[in-house]
Amino acid sequence: MDIDQHYSHHADEAFLLQQLRQRYPDGPSSYQLAPLDQLHIGGIKASEKLLQQLQHDQPHRILEIGSGVGGLMRMLNAKTQIEVVGIDITHRFNRLNQAISALTSPPTSPQLITCDARQLPFADNHFDCIIFQHSLLNIPHTDVCLQECRRILSRHGSLLLHEVLQGPNPHSMRYPVPWASNAQQSHLLTFEAISALLQQHHFKLEQAENWSSEALQWRHRQQQKETSVKPPSTLSPANILGQSFSQMGANVITNLNTGAVEVWQLSCRGQTL
């Protein structure tokens, strides 16, 4: 199974859209959509932290790489007037993103492109901010992707990453996890490796926060919610990631506890080439 199938194989778009229409006839809010479209560790609170960073940077044109089913994009479009473009290699996610966005109040029509992040279909210096939220971890040849990011980013544009990185004990890694069914689909880098690549591609690392402890606490709270609801909610990450999501969530806790993975937010700035 390739990474596109890993993410899109289990989604039942017709069922999800029907449930959203029935539950939220006036249009679902970001918090109501969060079980479906905030599929990263930390959930909607982590997205709000990224929004706070954007308020500081005040970009005019943003690219989100790996926009998934659109949770962060919808929050950006709701709270800012800036141009936001999303790309994802999973075309089925882009279609679902469009369909969910059309149900919100007011409805939106996000700018989406299905493409590989190692071959970005944009002109040089086109964006002044690029965001990765749990997407770099699925991209092999990270150096090629970062080279493309530097090309399309303005001279002193910002690069924000909310990512899962390899921890000090990678040998203890357990699969499946939300981003990968097996090791072949997961491309985790250590903090030291990503820092070196960023410098190599002319990005200055301005701020780095290890969110692992907070992420672990969040995942424990989510697991309690997921196991206490009877019958299970009809809207959950399992609607996107399949019935193995319960095992994925448990493995995330184990991997954070053992140091197989860490969760970081990195804020970078382009330097003169």
Query: If you write DSSP's letter for every residue of 46-66 in order, what string do you get?
Result: HHHHHHHHHHHH--SEEEEES
How many domains does the chain contain in total?
1
Cis peptide before 176 (omega within 30 of 0): yes
Contact (Cβ atoms closer than 8 angstroms) between residue 70 and residue 139? no
Give the DSSP H/E element, type plus range, for residue 264.
Answer: strand 261-270
Q: What is the mean pLDDT of residues 54-70?
A: 92
Q: Considering only residues 242 and 273, tell me which one the structure prediction assigns the higher pLDDT.
A: 242
The answer to the question of residue 271 being in a domain is: no
Q: What is the mean pLDDT of residues 47-68?
A: 92
The answer to the question of residue 270 being in a domain is: no
pLDDT score recorded for residue 227: 77
pLDDT digits (tens, 9 = 90+) for 224-268: 887 776 555 578 888 888 889 999 999 999 999 999 999 999 999
Residue 109's pLDDT band (boundaries 50, 70, 90)?
Answer: very high
pLDDT digits (tens, 9 = 90+) for 84-95: 999 999 999 999
Domain that holds residue 235: 3-264
Q: Assess whether pLDDT exceeds 60 at residue 188.
A: yes
The answer to the question of residue 273 being in a domain is: no
Choice among 31-35, 71-75, 237-241 with the minimum mean pLDDT: 237-241
pLDDT score recorded for residue 37: 94
The answer to the question of residue 226 being in a domain is: yes
The answer to the question of residue 236 being in a domain is: yes
Q: Which two tokens stand for residue 196?
A: 């070196």
Q: What is the mean pLDDT of residues 111-135?
A: 97
pLDDT score recorded for residue 232: 54
What is the CATH number for 255? 3.40.50.150
Q: How many residues does the chain have?
A: 273
Please give the mean pLDDT across all residues of the chain: 92
Q: Assess whether pLDDT exceeds 60 at residue 176.
A: yes
pLDDT score recorded for residue 71: 96
Match 């899962």 to its residue by tokens.
164
The answer to the question of residue 86 being in a domain is: yes
The answer to the question of residue 135 being in a domain is: yes
pLDDT score recorded for residue 182: 94
pLDDT score recorded for residue 230: 55
pLDDT score recorded for residue 250: 95
Q: Assess whether pLDDT exceeds 60 at residue 1.
A: no
Q: Assess whether pLDDT exceeds 90 at residue 77.
A: no
pLDDT digits (tens, 9 = 90+) for 128-147: 999 999 999 999 999 999 99
The answer to the question of residue 269 being in a domain is: no
